[in-house]
Amino acid sequence: MATNKDLKEDAQTKSSSEFLHCGYQVNGMDKAQDKWKCIFCSWIIKEPIQLTECGHRGCRGCFESRMGQAPTGKISCPGEDCDYELDRSQTMVDRAFKKELDVLPITCIHKDDQPSCSWQGMLNAYQEHLDTMHTHFICESCKELFSSTQALKIHIESSCPSLFQKCSLAPYCTEEMIRREDFAAHLLTEKHQEATALILIGKYNTPESPPQDQDMERKTVQNELEDQTSEKLSILADKVQTLNDQTVKLSHDYIRFNELYQVANQEVDHFQTVCVERNTTMATFQLKQHTVQKEVEDLKQSLEENQHVSTDGSLTWRVDRVTERMADAQSERQPNTIEKEN
């Protein structure tokens, strides 16, 4: 686990471009007292805040730029032998210290430039001096300086040589500056193709382009082709990676489905075995049931045959036509034995 010391050393080894330097640069910075310097950027503090845990001071902008890149929402104070970790709730605006800073006498950082600037004054007037005398608007593409944002905007939108170039067939094709990313498409336009055909048949003289423009055109086409190739290779690499990922996923799915198939086969085999055993048991049970039923019927018949059998040694006679015989006895009438015999 990283300690506060490790976090601090890691922050100190980062390049200065990773964090904003929001303080003021002044002439003779090395001679300025440490109390006026930001604990983060080491320049003269701008919009001072104080870290309540350790008392160090710094620029609000410097603190916020570092907090914006802190994944945990906390940063370590970079002060020497300071191990505090801080979040936004552990800072306060230092208004009393700002009053001291406002009257700090300073000399313009451009004193040693050519031409030099001799401005000296209090810190609270320094920003206005910089805005008035030393602010230059720079084109990030070609590094040309402009005195206003409007001039810079026009330059970027229409004439920056790093963003635009002139057609080699001008004035027969077009006099307008063409964006470099659109130049390859321009070469295929109907207007450019027509101008090329007219030059080939001798109707127009071939315009003499400076070697620099010719090299620029070749480089533009080459860069366009390289960019397209790089883009296609990148797309292809992404598709290959996607295909590999899908292959791995399919392989895992195949293994899982194969395992499920084996389990299902085992379950089916077990079910078939159980069904065979059940059928055998049912056949045996039906056979026994038939036997028992037959035995019950035999027993029932035997009981019916032995129902009038005496168990105490006396004889039991079976008399038929009981009602008729009782009537004969009551009337003292003799039975007609002759007719019975007949």
Digitized pLDDT (tens) for each residue of the chain, 342 residues in all: 444 444 444 444 443 446 778 899 899 988 899 999 999 999 999 999 999 989 999 999 899 888 888 888 889 998 888 888 889 899 999 999 999 999 999 999 888 876 678 899 999 999 888 878 876 677 888 877 765 566 677 778 877 888 887 787 777 787 778 888 888 888 888 888 888 888 777 776 655 555 555 565 566 666 767 777 888 888 888 899 999 999 999 999 999 999 999 999 999 989 999 999 888 888 888 888 888 888 888 888 877 766 655 556 565 566 667 777 788 777 766 555 544 444
DSSP for 100-129 reads: HHHT-EEEBGGGGSSS----EEEGGGHHHH
Q: How far is CA 342 from CA 43, 158, 324, in A?
A: 154, 149, 18
Rounded to 5 degrees, φ, ψ at 307 are: -65, -35
Nearest to 56 by CA among 9, 13, 19, 91: 91
Coil/strand/helix, residue 58: strand
Are the CB atoms for 40 and 58 separated by under 8 Å?
yes
**Could you tell me the two tokens for 71?**
């994944």
* Distance (Å, whole) CA 238 – CA 241: 5
Q: Could you give the CA distance from residue 53 to residue 109 in angstroms, rounded to a whole number? A: 33
Burial 284-312 (b: 16+ CB within 10 A, else e): eeeeeeeeeeeeeeeeeeeeeeeeeeeee
Backbone angles phi, psi at 105, to 5 degrees: -75, 130
| R_g (Cα) of the chain, nearest Å | 55
In the prediction, which pLDDT does 220 show? 60
Residue type, 113: D
C-alpha to C-alpha distance for 168 and 146, rounded to whole angstroms: 28
- CA-CA distance, 39 to 79, in Å (whole number)? 6
DSSP string for residues in 259-285: HHHHHHHHHHHHHHHHHHHHHHHHHHH
